[in-house]
Structure 1
């Protein structure tokens, strides 16, 4: 591992930095905030429509290599795309991207990762770098034998201590090494409540089957990432813990009412929002007793606008779970799913199955008036604000 700073020193420096940030916050006034908002608005006004649309896409590296053809995302592991090639550069010239997410097969060793991230940083769109590094079975770096970083059994194992500070320490450690390697965003913590023993996708990735316990550990984990300089992401809204099916492969739903969700699934999400969460990832699960239909939550304005934005008051960035998952692709085509997600209130489209096609579909939808450009501007504003931080 490249870093030579001890965890204790990092914690001390983090505390000092937090104190300075607090003082800075106290000294800021409405005029400063107003100036920052004006600066963001000016930046958006200078952007072309394609630049704005590109900001809303976070893609797999393979999405920019149009010579790679695939139906199931599991096929991508065979390609092991681990560098920016000429095809990607040619595509990216006309299709800027707001972010790139790396998976296990995109990561070889420290030297390769450093070079790959350097190349990605130079792409059109000045993309952010994201990764799924939860700790436990979902950890793209820690589970790679070429990296000497701490490993964790699971979030459930961490929560067995009963001390939320253990989640902070783990997240700070994880955040520190992914920051060192060059990432900006961690799609963690899992904020689901693991209430269904038949759940095959969440399980010990969640901290607890008790909502209050899960909430305490989620907030501590989120704070740990923040102290390390990494943006965390609450996932998977509105809660994947009571679902039997795996959305990677097809339709999944929960039969809970909103009242029931408020008593359980919403507890960690509300706690995370109150703690200042900047990003929330959607789940592709349907909630028919809340929405009145079988739409995945990712495509539901009821879930995203009425509940998440309206009732829970979340004003940060909403990112989809990967749009190439079966719960989406087996019900909707690529263009349809992308348009529906944006119309429903999503800010970032993550891993569309065909990036170029989805991008063109959004541009055409705006030009035809199916999506107002002001709607695109809202998402771009949130994303640029996140980038500025």
Structure 2
């Protein structure tokens, strides 16, 4: 039977409850029963008229490290937390993206075959950051063809397609290995597993998933079981899991990374059974969900999912109950968003209820952070929306052990 647990990451309460597998570090606030009765004063009836009911005062949990840190950040630091920058193997981190633009973290691009190089890059990112605001580090490590860490940086694991055929034990073993390798390199987030269910009528003609053997299968329930096993295995190693690409890329033919045309899935809707794999991952404790840049007319016509309030707020957060960090697929180099002005790639995500943008192009960081900062300053409502997302980012960092309580 599949174990289920949900790791809530809402900024105000995310870290008050620990996950079942111990990946959370949230402080335990005192319960209502803790207040007012230990010294016997309330129960003695002193000063209370006979027959009048006594009440136990409610207690307020102490603020989390994430909540306290949020209050100490400047508007630009808050805006910067909502941008993750891609760093290519063999390149250096541009210092200004962290020292001036306060990027919330980095993700590793291309193929890294040297553990020493990975370790140096992770250490450089931390050294550039404010000491009490360390960067989140993520990597696309799925197994099979999609493995950014290779060589002595990480062990080889099979593709999702192979793992799905072998069964849940194989999935758990592979993702345990992935989690161990990421933890050893100081990486906190896996940009996996893929929760897309490939349409059996497409198979390998499905370029983003099927062609690369990235999907666990074509049956939503079986895929959901595999996704949950992967999420739980990562969590047991202290690694945050990212479900992608919501609400699914299993029914499209073209790849949003390489096609500038508006890629549409005219089948997937709010009640689609293919969404069950995402629900399974959420119930298993996934901390992040990556949004697709494809268009889903049955959810919201003409609007890419990452910019769609119907997809993010109504479907993902509302119907599926996800409370964690919602991030974009790449909005820097991906062809699918090249017609969207750079600034709007960040602000439209926030307006839809999403939280953080990922860009493979470091040169866009300043524009993105400027846009978020200016958008927040435009109205109290937008400022609160940005602070909410920054709170989720900081809550995730605290949960993954980056912030000290």
Higher helix share goes to which structure?
A: 1
TM-superposed CA distance for 1:341, in Å, is 1.0
Report the Cα distance in structure 2 between the residues aligned to 1:28 and 1:375, rounded to whole angstroms.
Answer: 26
Aligned to 2:383: 373
| 1:388 aligns with one of 386, 398, 401 | 398
Aligned to 1:274: 283
Report the Cα distance in structure 1 between the residues aligned to 2:65 and 2:352, rounded to whole angstroms.
Answer: 27
| 288 and 37 in structure 1: CA distance in 2 versus 1, 3 angstrom threshold | farther
Aligned to 1:72: none
Report if the CA contact (8 A) 2:375-2:383 is conserved.
no
Aligned to 1:153: 158
SS of 1:350's equivalent in the other structure is: strand
Report the Cα distance in structure 2 between the residues aligned to 1:224 and 1:384, rounded to whole angstroms.
Answer: 23
Aligned to 1:139: 147
SS of 1:272's equivalent in the other structure is: helix
| 2:321 aligns with one of 305, 309, 313 | 313
| 2:359 aligns with one of 346, 351, 357 | 351
| 149 and 47 in structure 1: CA distance in 2 versus 1, 3 angstrom threshold | closer
| 2:75 aligns with one of 49, 54, 63 | 49
Aligned residues: 345
SS of 1:234's equivalent in the other structure is: strand
Give per-residue Cα distances to partners, 1:308-330, cap 9 Å, x unaligned. 11111111110111112445433
Report if the CA contact (8 A) 2:192-2:242 is conserved.
yes
- Is 1:298 the counterpart of 2:306 in the alignment? yes
| 38 and 264 in structure 1: CA distance in 2 versus 1, 3 angstrom threshold | same
Aligned to 1:239: 248
TM-superposed CA distance for 1:19, in Å, is 8.0
Report the Cα distance in structure 2 between the residues aligned to 1:127 and 1:326, rounded to whole angstroms.
Answer: 23
SS of 2:299's equivalent in the other structure is: helix
SS of 1:60's equivalent in the other structure is: strand
SS of 1:191's equivalent in the other structure is: coil
Report if the CA contact (8 A) 1:56-1:347 is conserved.
yes
User: Which structure has the bigger radius of gyration?
Assistant: 2
SS of 1:188's equivalent in the other structure is: coil
Aligned to 1:13: none
Aligned to 2:188: 184
Report the Cα distance in structure 2 between the residues aligned to 1:18 and 1:366, rounded to whole angstroms.
Answer: 32
- Is 1:256 the counterpart of 2:282 in the alignment? no
SS of 1:349's equivalent in the other structure is: strand
Report if the CA contact (8 A) 1:328-1:337 is conserved.
no
| 41 and 215 in structure 1: CA distance in 2 versus 1, 3 angstrom threshold | same
Higher strand share goes to which structure?
A: 2
Give per-residue Cα distances to partners, 1:329-379, cap 9 Å, x unaligned. 333111122111111111111116411111111111222239611101111
Aligned to 1:92: 98
Report if the CA contact (8 A) 2:293-2:337 is conserved.
no
| 211 and 29 in structure 1: CA distance in 2 versus 1, 3 angstrom threshold | farther
SS of 2:84's equivalent in the other structure is: strand
Q: TM-score normalised to the size of structure 2?
A: 0.79
Report if the CA contact (8 A) 1:189-1:222 is conserved.
yes
Q: TM-score normalised to the size of structure 1?
A: 0.82
Report if the CA contact (8 A) 2:376-2:384 is conserved.
no
- Is 1:336 the counterpart of 2:347 in the alignment? no
TM-superposed CA distance for 1:94, in Å, is 1.8
Give per-residue Cα distances to partners, 1:86-107, cap 9 Å, x unaligned. xx224532210111001125x3
Task: Please report the RMSD computed on the Cα atoms of aligned residues, expressed in angstroms.
Answer: 2.8
Report if the CA contact (8 A) 2:142-2:191 is conserved.
yes
SS of 1:342's equivalent in the other structure is: helix
- Runs (5+) with no aligned partner, structure 1: 1-16, 62-75
- Runs (5+) with no aligned partner, structure 2: 1-17, 35-58, 400-405
